[in-house]
């Protein structure tokens, strides 16, 4: 089984721009991440909720593509 990883960007809850977090910093539950565009503070827990929803979507889309590809191979 191939190991697949999915990266999901964290986007600002207020203006939807991609948050440029400090890559050196480790964010933990309860932290606030400041948006560089609108300067609103994003709640880390809320961001993770949104990101995990997006992540699930990305995974299921990928699985769907794999299934379609294998079906096509079957009927070649
Ligand atoms: Zn923003």
Q: How far is the CA of 6 from the centre of ligand 1 (A)?
A: 23
> Which long-range contacts link 42-47 to residues 24+ away (Cβ below 8 Å)?
42/10, 42/12, 42/13, 42/14, 43/13, 46/13, 47/10, 47/11, 47/13, 47/19
State the pLDDT at residue 54: 85
Distance 65 CA to ligand 1 centre (A): 33
Instruction: Give pLDDT tens digits for 14-60.
Output: 999 998 766 666 788 899 999 999 999 999 999 989 988 888 888 88
Whether 1 is covered by a domain: the verdict is no
Cα–Cα distance for residue pair 7/74, rounded to 1 Å? 31
Range of the domain at 38: 8-76
Instruction: Find the 50 Cα to ligand 1 centroid distance in Å.
Output: 15
Kind and range of the H or E element at 51?
A: helix 44-74
Q: Where are the beta strands (DSSP E) in the chain?
A: 32-34, 41-43
Number of domains in the chain: 1
* pTM of this structure: 0.64
């Amino acid at each position: 089984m191939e190991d697949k990883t999915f990266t999901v960007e964290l986007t600002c809850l207020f203006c939807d721009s991609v948050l440029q977090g400090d890559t050196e910093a480790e964010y933990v539950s309860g932290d606030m991440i400041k948006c560089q565009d609108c300067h609103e503070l994003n709640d880390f827990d809320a961001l993770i909720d949104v990101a995990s929803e997006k992540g699930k979507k990305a995974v299921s889309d990928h699985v769907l593509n794999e299934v379609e590809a294998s079906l096509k191979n079957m009927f070649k």
